[in-house]
Amino acid sequence: MSRIVMKFGGTSVADLERIRIVAARVKKEFDDGNQVAVFVSAMAGTTDQLVSWVEEISPLHDAREYDSVVSAGEQITAGLLALALQDLGVPARSWLGWQIPFRTNQVHGAARIEEIGTQDLLSRMENGVVCVMAGFQGISADNRVTTLGRGGTDTSAVALAAALNADRCDIYTDVDGVYTADPRIVPQARKLEKITYEEMLEMASLGAKVLQTRSVAMAMNHKVRVQVLSSFINEPGTMVVDEEEIVEKQVVSGIAYAKNEAQITIVGVKNKPGIASDVFSSLADGNINVDMIIQNETEDGNKTDVTFTVPDNDLEKARMILQSADDIEFDTILTDSNVVKISVIGVGMRSHAGVAATMFKTLADKGINIQVISTSEIKISVLIDAEYTELAVRALHTAYGLDAA
Amino acid sequence: MSRIVMKFGGTSVADLERIRIVAARVKKEFDDGNQVAVFVSAMAGTTDQLVSWVEEISPLHDAREYDSVVSAGEQITAGLLALALQDLGVPARSWLGWQIPFRTNQVHGAARIEEIGTQDLLSRMENGVVCVMAGFQGISADNRVTTLGRGGTDTSAVALAAALNADRCDIYTDVDGVYTADPRIVPQARKLEKITYEEMLEMASLGAKVLQTRSVAMAMNHKVRVQVLSSFINEPGTMVVDEEEIVEKQVVSGIAYAKNEAQITIVGVKNKPGIASDVFSSLADGNINVDMIIQNETEDGNKTDVTFTVPDNDLEKARMILQSADDIEFDTILTDSNVVKISVIGVGMRSHAGVAATMFKTLADKGINIQVISTSEIKISVLIDAEYTELAVRALHTAYGLDAA
């Protein structure tokens, strides 16, 4: 007997037929003798519809009302899944965020979880009831509905799994696991049986949108064993686990890419103490996330070039901020949104030398120019021209021995 | 300064444009210095959609899950209207049934109101906040969402108006008031400035679907002054008030008709004590509402004919119940769903003789055969062939002097 938290995203509950398939999947875990709690997202498209109504009726909307409106989507699916389970003869009932209660702070639209009432759920599960819960939502101290932000149902599920000390948190989605690379680009990509939290965090932050970053961080902090798997096919997915659980570590676990990057170079910045701080605090004030950064001396020692990347859709905003900043003097600004960030990720590289060298050589052999490099303990990222994306990912996948036999 | 409860039905909040119109209407009352509480229904079509999902996914559905799913509709409109008001500069916030709290019993799908928490609402209203509430929903003692049944938002509004001791409860709908007859049939029909609770009750139960019957009964019990008016045109509607408020009483206030009636005659019932009880308790057990009843002796004193009406869509069910009842012996069953019930209604008829005689003579003069008659203190109803509906309503409207000058 295990205690399992299951989570089904919007495409998995997109219509009544799919909700019935989800119910059958939940029934199987229940019939196997497990204690089961299930979180559901809103039916695909519903949240977008509700958000667009809120934004249209009040462009500068009150986040508290936003939360109350948008949380209705998960409320609908939770009730429908409970009904579908009952229809299959499985004892089930639904809970909304305020009923659990799923207590959060008052940061509407991006609330943080403070405490989850598990007593009622535990006694129901012990009595053979499947608990179906509306994901993404909570209740604040002043009795109002809060939401956890986009993709928040992953976080709901992992948080409850931690609170219930669950054996596993299964995140059902429209992909069947985490791959060594995007299978649409690399036909030889393999599904990973296991991946570490840290690797998954790097993947998630790189835009491999399998799991929400925040839910991975939470799983890592609470050592929740998370499984990513498909609700459409019936086979094991990828387990996201602690490094210790992985006996034979790959040096590199996967090759990821992120297309929504743009490169900015500020040419001829007057080189004075604090200039980097001036540049990047202006951008931070504008809520722009800066990623890779390099700074080069120019021949003229009084000037320097600063290069960094920002999200593609913040490029124009970033340019405007820099141009209107009084305390930053420079010659010109060059931008390039036609770039891609390619990363090799693996906890094994901590103990292996030469991983970066292999990457640079592989790209050089294909004639691919590296524009920016950044590294972390378990990741090496380079910025290259976007048109080399597929070539680079495939070459690296082969170079690190990841191709399926 | 008055304290006003306003209610807007599904067609009044059918889309964002209409929600903005509603917001402007609420703003006007607020700008006039009134304390305002507003109840909204779900956007037209939403409740039907949610109900159909519930019924499709689980034909014998759990009413508790039904309530949780279906109440999402009002949740969405309440938040959107609060946002639309804020966008017009009106301080506003939304409340869901459980937040008010709007306490009901546990009869899911048709819950009865037990207690309404008014303290928070009152202090908000006194501080100039417009309270926007999701209608139709409440919370039971075991912390689950309940709904009040179809049309329940009228009841929500009247109940809160009673609890708040409001000066008026304005029910905005898609008609601009209560008429002396259906204006689509009688072009000379006049809008009534005032109507008594009892008359309105008879109208409502006859299917003049301006107000839900239950909300009228509640208004009568608590002497809530209810106004029925249109959200699409800007003029006073019809006030539903206590009889004492109406100085000059009409003998007849209106002519109503109900088409969804079917007539059943059980021919040659063996005449024994308790036979009527047998017939009607079988039907009651089948949840069939019987309306008009007559019983005639036949020439053969051992047998009798029993005629009564039931809702059109219960006709086949009623026939099956009667045919399978062991203790009811009869020769045959005749049914006719091609009938209409025409009623003249007026509190004035209590003190006036001859109202019934006028009705019968008017119909006879037009060659209309009366099949069944039933009367109450303030109403006379007859069942006639449906093809005479318009002729009968127009003739009676003229006969009782109701035609507009």
Percent of residues, chain B, with pLDDT higher than 90: 74
Q: Is the pLDDT of residue A219 over 90?
A: yes
Q: Is the pLDDT of residue A182 over 80?
A: yes
**Looking at this predicted complex, what is its ipTM?**
0.84
Say which residue the tokens 């949840």 belong to.
Answer: B287
Which residue does chain B place closest to A63, by CA atoms?
B83
Q: Write the CB contacts of A374 (distance below 8 Å, at least 6 apart in sequence).
A: A291, A292, A293, A380, A381
Could you read off the pLDDT of A84-127 as tens digits, one per residue? 999 999 999 999 999 999 999 999 999 999 999 999 999 999 99
- CA-to-CA distance for A60 and B35, rounded, in angstroms? 25
Could you read off the pLDDT of A187-203 as tens digits, one per residue? 999 999 999 999 999 88
From A53, A68, A73, residue closest to B94, measured CB to CB: A68
- Mutation site, A17, A76, A81, A94, interface B, largest B CB count within 10 A: A76
- Mutation site, A83, A129, A133, A137, interface B, largest B CB count within 10 A: A83
User: How many CB atoms are located within 10 Å of the residue B327 CB?
Assistant: 10
Rounded to the nearest 10 degrees, the angle between the axes of helix B152-163 and helix B213-222 is 10
**How far does chain A reach from its first CA to its final CA, in angstroms?**
36
Alpha-helical segments (H) within A88-186: 119-126, 152-163
DSSP SS3 for A335? strand
Which residue does chain B place closest to A54, by CA atoms?
B80
Instruction: Tell whether domain B3-174 is in CATH 3.40.1160.10.
Output: yes
| Mean pLDDT, rounded, of chain A | 92
CB contact under 8 A, B145 and A65: no
Give the range among A76-85, A322-331, B218-227 with minimum mean pLDDT.
Answer: A322-331
CB contact under 8 A, B98 and A98: yes
From B57, B79, B99, residue closest to A80, measured CB to CB: B57
Which residue does chain B place closest to A101, by CA atoms?
B143
Exposure string (b/e) for A86-119, b if CB count within 10 Å is 16 or more?
Answer: bbeebebbbbbbbbbbbbbeeebbbbebeebeee
DSSP SS3 for B182? coil
- CA-to-CA distance for B209 and B204, rounded, in angstroms? 6
Which residue does chain A place closest to B18, by CA atoms?
A57
Percent of residues, chain A, with pLDDT higher than 70: 99
Nearest chain A Cα distance for residue B14, angstroms: 12
**A121-144: average pLDDT:** 97
Q: Is the pLDDT of residue A339 over 90?
A: yes
Show me where the domains of chain B are located: 3-174, 255-399
DSSP category for residue A243 = G
CB contact under 8 A, B75 and A69: yes
* CATH C-level class of B255-399: alpha beta
CB contact under 8 A, B64 and A98: no
Which residue, among B218, B238, B220, has the nearest Cα to B230 in the 3D structure?
Answer: B238
Interface A-B: count of C-beta contacts within 8 A:
111
- Chain B residues close to A61, C-beta within 8 Å: 83, 86
Alpha-helical segments (H) within B249-314: 275-285
Q: Which amino acid is at B232?
A: F
Q: Is the pLDDT of residue B382 over 80?
A: yes
Nearest chain B Cα distance for residue A35, angstroms: 21
CB contact under 8 A, B72 and A69: no
- CA-to-CA distance for A335 and A315, rounded, in angstroms? 8
pLDDT higher at B275 or A122: A122
pLDDT higher at A184 or B27: B27
- Residue A110 has φ and ψ, to the nearest 5°, of -155, 50
- CA-to-CA distance for A93 and B71, rounded, in angstroms? 16
- CA-to-CA distance for B280 and B276, rounded, in angstroms? 6
CB contact under 8 A, A66 and B86: no
- CA-to-CA distance for A306 and B377, rounded, in angstroms? 91
CB contact under 8 A, B57 and A99: no
User: How many CB atoms are located within 10 Å of the residue B32 CB?
Assistant: 11
Which residue, among A374, A390, A392, has the nearest Cα to A382 in the 3D structure?
Answer: A374
- CA-to-CA distance for B12 and B157, rounded, in angstroms? 15
User: How many CB atoms are located within 10 Å of the residue A227 CB?
Assistant: 19
Confidence at residue B120, expressed as pLDDT on a 0 to 100 scale:
96
